[in-house]
Structure 1
Amino acid sequence: MRYLFERYELDSGRRELYRDTSLVALAPQTFDLLDYLIRNRERVVSKDELITAIWKGRCVSDAALTTRLNAARSAIGDSGENQRLIKTLARKGYRFIGTVQEARSAPALTVPDRQEEAAKPDLPIPDKPSLAVLPFTNLSSDPEQEYFADGMVEDIITGLSRSKSLFVIARQSTFTYRGKAIDIRQVGRELGVRYVLEGSVRKSGDRVRISGQLIEATSGAHLWADRFESHLNDIFDLQDQVTSSVIGALFPQLERAEIERAKRKPNENLRAYDYYLRALSSFYQFTREHNVEALKLTRLAVEIDPALAAAYALGAYCYLQRKIFGWTIDADQELNDTRWMARRAIELDKDDPIVLVRAGQAIEAVLHEVDEGVALVVRAHELDPNLAIARLTIGWGHIRSGNIEAALKQFHAGGRLSPMDPFLFMMQTGIAFAHFLADRYEDGSSWAKLAVLDRPNYLNAQFILAACLAMSGRVGEARLIGARLMEARPALRVSTLVPKITRFYRPDHLEKIRQACVNMGLTP
């Protein structure tokens, strides 16, 4: 039987829907729903009846029904707002209200039968993290949210694509799955990716809720899920906020998943990129022993692949970690090694934001070539505005120039972009120091305590906590921390510290730091 309405033709025998002579792609359940509503168009069909007919009585959520209903409406040019063809009757059910003609004969204008598509070969999965972002499902009756969801997915794809350490499938490929019943494993095989991000958008009143989940396509395992909710005051501002939040939350999860995958590989099967990932895992432990291990692994990576820029940049970053945690062994040798690894990384890849930010921060803080280091980090930020760690260097640049509020804005933005970031304790330390310089010692103490709790062996956070306590009159507490600092760093003295940092701070800020050192009991 063929059902003709407006410019559409639904052929129940061939299970196909045409608009004029063009075939409209429909998921099987969406076709079944539309077919059932048309065949029973003389009456209202209840929700329970539809579930029994389409899902054979299986327990399904309202969201699943709404999704299929919206897909059916979209396929025939209808919407939940217009309800030109499919009408929702509150608390009663649904009815197809379009004018329909039935035809049993073959159509006058025949459409060539579709040839069966050849089975698509599985695409190889790249070495680096590979991701497909599927169209987000609109769970609202408001068709405007479809545009919002599509725009947000495009922005997420664009934002993730800025990172050269990720392999991200283009929108044109992922949007071919719109409205289809999909198997995540099949999507992974067809697109050649290890991870798939899917999500939904729901509008209720003046609020919009966006949910997302990251799935490992090879196993179907859920790696991460979250939801973001906000007022619908400015849809474009909201789209930007959610996009940044999703990217910021997603990147550390992808990195963590890749690290775990590399750690599970047998040693005899390791390649350069696997050694790099293992090095990154050791680096993130933030201990002296793991720092040594990370350096060893980066060297193994570049021995196998001398063109792996990310491994050179991570090696330079390891020397930066040594410096800020006080683990330096041979200062002159480590200075030379940092210079070689950072510059080699930049020679190999001048457009990878991660390479630029790591090499730039090492050049700035280890080599003290501040202008060049900052310029590289700023370049990384321009290439990828969602790169949270770049905000750290930009924020400290504002502190050096005395612009405290601009520094706070950068540190807070970094924390918001990546709330699970391994470097969050450094963002918190920057916020604490900015409050210290602005005479907001209680605020500074609170943020410094967060950093100390997160990373107790990061002595800079302890120093700033002691400084805030010392300047707020809590001298006893400050001196306890000061004593621990001198025990950990016997060379720490006011007479050596202040001249070392003189060129980085304004005279009034430098005097504040000197006074705090005296108050916390550091050796003159």
Structure 2
Amino acid sequence: MRDVRFAFGPFVLDPGAGTLLRNDDPVAVGYRGVKLLAALVGRAGEILGKAELMDAAWPGTAVEEGNLTVQIAQLRKLLGPAVDGGEWISTVPRVGYRFTGTIERLGGATRKLLPLPDKPSIAVLPFVNLSNDPEQGAFADGLTEDLITDLSTNGDLFVIARNSSFAYKGRVMDVRAIAEDLGVRYLLEGSARRASGMVRINAQLVDAASGAHLWAERFDRSLEDIFAVQDEVTSRIVEALLGRLQPVRKRNRPSSLEAYDLCVRARKLMDDTPQMAREAHLMLTRAVSLDPDYAEAYRWLAINHWMGRIHSGGPAQTDRELALGLARKAVAIDPDAAGSRWILGYLLAYERCFAEADAEFAKATELDPNEADAWAALSDIAILSGRVEEGLKHIRKAFRLNPHPASWYYLTLGQAQYAAGSYEAAVETLRNDETYRTSSRRFLAASLAQLGRIEEANAEAELFLVANPHFTIRHWAAAEPFRDAAVLEHFSDGFRKAGLPD
């Protein structure tokens, strides 16, 4: 549907560009909202089952049905009543949903393409699981993620982040279209089959501009050799893109393939519901017991402790201490892992160990200049340190490396825009339905208040307090790693104007 737009009532939906217009004005709808709406309007009048819709919005990811219900409710709110006074999206009890409006298919819209970087740029698309066992999908996903990580550490390349690569899982699209969407020239495609102690991997490197295959190879190896195969594939890609062989940086590898699979499966659950976060915790704990020297298991367990039990003022102290210890363990095992370094830096900042935190972030971005999450987290820390322009620069870099990011990127961007005094931009960002949730409402309320839209600000503040009844500005300020009094007062002023309690 990339070259097709859909018009209905006052709206025009462009699935390829990810935009929705109402009377030519942009509507703040998020990535998953666009995917759901595109699936519905693309088959207007038909009943789409819940499983089909969840696959359209969360391809390759196990999510609870409640996530779909929330997204549909937000779409209905954004669209408002249909022309006849009814709903654009009707519920078919116990089955799914149907788009009831009349749509008109329009030609594709010309949109601004992301400029190509000044170095070879590549995205690794999710490897296809060719095994007869769907459970082996985690293995194919892990292979994809590892190749992204291995390539990402090469500073001579521009490598798209995992989250954006996996946005195309299970989708049939022309390679040129994907490359244009991500702003890269090259794509790595492949498949994996794992059975009876053996693994077969097919990989091909495509120049999206010409459609030519720069390199393609098949590997038939023992499963025990899987990580050696990953190193070989990485070396071949680097040679094809840069015209020279380069040594692959040695990474900490698991001694247990079961621990490896558990980590891959757990990572897919981290950003979803508390129940899924608890499931991830059990998987990661098991991975650590199976392989006590596997750094990735400690890294993700640290994130799970930090993010899995969030309270209004931040994680409970016990969780913070556990998370910090686990992050230190991950770095001790694998000091060259940028992912573990920035997690440790972020946790250290919250412990007010600022010099050590800054050193960890510096090391992380040196080890892996393509680590988008590191740049996004560093933006947050820079803003709270009073380095607002630097923070904006970092989050923009993170978005370029990760055009389809996790929702917390939008919160970080909105916070940076508020700090810079760009309140209108902050409102637009924070009302994106991927972030329009409890954790961002306080910043949305503050932005509205600074614009003089006090009634709207009060409403958002009240909604925030429903979920965070014990929130006070004083406790929030004490919990956040501020290093700049002026920035702290700027945020506090917006909160007070919005009606949040001191």
Match of 1:428 in 2: 410
Query: What corresponds to 1:340 in structure 2?
Result: 325
1:349 and 2:334 aligned: yes
Match in the other structure for 1:318: 304
Matches of 2:212 and 2:352 in 1, distance apart?
44
Matched, 1:384 2:368: yes
| 2:379–2:395 Cα contact (<8 Å) kept | yes
The Cα of 1:470 is off from its aligned counterpart by 0.9
Task: Give 1:274's aligned residue.
Answer: 261
Q: Does structure 1 conserve the Cα–Cα contact (< 8 Å) formed by 2:411 and 2:440?
A: yes
1:472 alignment partner AA: L
Deviations 1:184-212 (A, max 9, x none): 779999x977362421264xxxxxx7889
Does the CA contact (< 8 Å) of 2:160 and 2:401 recur in 1? Answer: no
- Which letter maps to 1:430? T
Q: Distance in 2 between matches of 1:480 and 1:364?
A: 32
Distance 2:212 2:464 in 1: 45
Offset at 1:481? 1.2
1:154-196 per-position Cα deviation (integer Å, ceiling 9, x unaligned) = 9799667999xxxxxxxxxxxxxxxxxxx9779999x977362
Give the match for residue 442 of structure 1: 424
Report the Cα distance in structure 2 between the residues aligned to 1:131 and 1:216, rounded to whole angstroms: 19
The amino acid across from 1:312 in the alignment is Y
**C-alpha displacement at 1:131, in angstroms?**
9.4
Q: Does residue 1:454 correspond to 2:434, yes or no?
A: yes
Deviation digits for residues 257-315 of structure 1, max 9, x if unmatched?
xxxxxxxxxxxx97011111111111132x21122111111110010000010010111
* C-alpha RMSD of matched pairs (Å): 4.5
Any conservation in 2 of the 1:317–1:362 contact (CA below 8 Å)?
no
- Aligned position for 1:521: 499
Q: Which runs of 5+ in 1 are unaligned?
A: 1-124, 134-151, 164-182, 203-208, 220-242, 244-268
Residues in 2 aligned to 1:278 and 1:499: alpha-carbon distance in whole angstroms:
35
Q: Which residue of 1 aligns with 2:203?
A: 196
Aligned to 2:26: none
Report % sequence identity.
Answer: 22
Distance 1:475 1:127, change over 3 A: closer
**1:455–1:349 CA distance, 2 compared to 1 (3 A):** same
Residue aligning to 1:370: 354
Which residue does the alignment assign to 1:129? 143
From 344, 352, 377, give the equivalent of 1:359: 344
State the one-letter code of the partner of 2:337.
D
Q: What aligned pairs does 1:239-278 form with structure 2 within 5 A after superposition?
A: 271-278=258-265
Distance of 2:394 and 2:356 partners within structure 1: 20
State whether residues 441 and 469 of structure 1, in contact with CA within 8 Å, keep that contact through their aligned partners in structure 2. yes
Deviations 1:442-492 (A, max 9, x none): 111111112xx11444x3322111110011011111111111111111110
Q: 2:285 matched to which residue of 1? A: 299
Q: Which residue of 1 aligns with 2:377?
A: 393
CA change 1:279–1:476 in 2 (3 A) is: same
What secondary structure, in the 3-state scheme, does the structure 1 residue paired with 2:370 have? coil
* Contact 1:130–1:194 under 8 Å retained in 2: no
Matched position secondary structure for 2:308: helix
Q: Secondary structure at the match of 1:196?
A: strand
CA distance in 2, matches of 1:380, 1:489: 34
SS in 2 for 1:282: coil
Q: Which amino acid aligns with 2:328?
A: R
Structure 2, unaligned runs of 5 or more: 1-138, 163-188, 221-240, 242-255
**For 1:8-157, what aligned pairs fall within 5 Å after superposition?**
129=143
SS of 1:307's equivalent in the other structure is coil
* CA distance in structure 1 between the aligned counterparts of 2:408 and 2:190, rounded to whole angstroms: 37
Partners of 1:299 and 1:274 lie apart in 2 by 13
Which residue of the partner structure matches residue 467 of structure 2?
488
TM-score with structure 1 setting the length: 0.49
Change (3 A) 1:363 1:297: farther
Note the C-alpha offset of 1:216.
Answer: 11
Counterpart amino acid of residue 488 in structure 2? L
1:418 alignment partner in structure 2: 402
User: Is the Cα–Cα contact under 8 Å of residues 341 and 363 in structure 2 kept in the other structure?
Assistant: yes
2:477 to 463, 475, 498: 498
Higher relative contact order (CA 8 A, sep 6+): 2
CA contact (8 A) 1:132 1:195 kept: no
Q: Which residue of 1 aligns with 2:454?
A: 475
| Structure of higher CA gyration radius | 1
TM-score (structure 2 length as normaliser): 0.51
Matched, 1:510 2:488: yes
Deviation at residue 384 of structure 1 after TM alignment: 1.0
Partner Cα separation in structure 2 for residue 464 and residue 212 of structure 1: 47
Residues 478-510 of structure 1: CA deviation (Å, up to 9, x unaligned)? 111111111111110133333444x61433322
User: Structure 1 pair 127/509, CA: closer, same or farther in 2 (3 Å)?
Assistant: closer
Cα separation, 2, equivalents of 1:154 and 1:210? 26
Distance 2:143 2:320 in 1: 32
Cα gap change, 1:333/1:201 in structure 2, threshold over 3 Å: closer, same or farther?
closer
Does the 8 A contact of 2:153 with 2:369 survive in 1? Answer: no
Q: Distance in 1 between matches of 2:332 and 2:146?
A: 30
Q: How many residues align?
A: 301
Describe the superposition over 1:373-416 as per-residue Cα deviations: whole angstroms up to 9, x where unpaired: 33222211111111101102322233234232221111011011
Task: Give how far 1:318 is off.
Answer: 1.1
| SS of the residue 1:129 aligns to | helix
Is 1:465 aligned to 2:447, yes or no? Answer: no
**Distance in 1 of aligned mates of 2:402 and 2:194:** 26
Q: Is the 8 A contact 1:437 1:512 kept in 2?
A: yes
Q: Which amino acid aligns with 1:352?
A: A
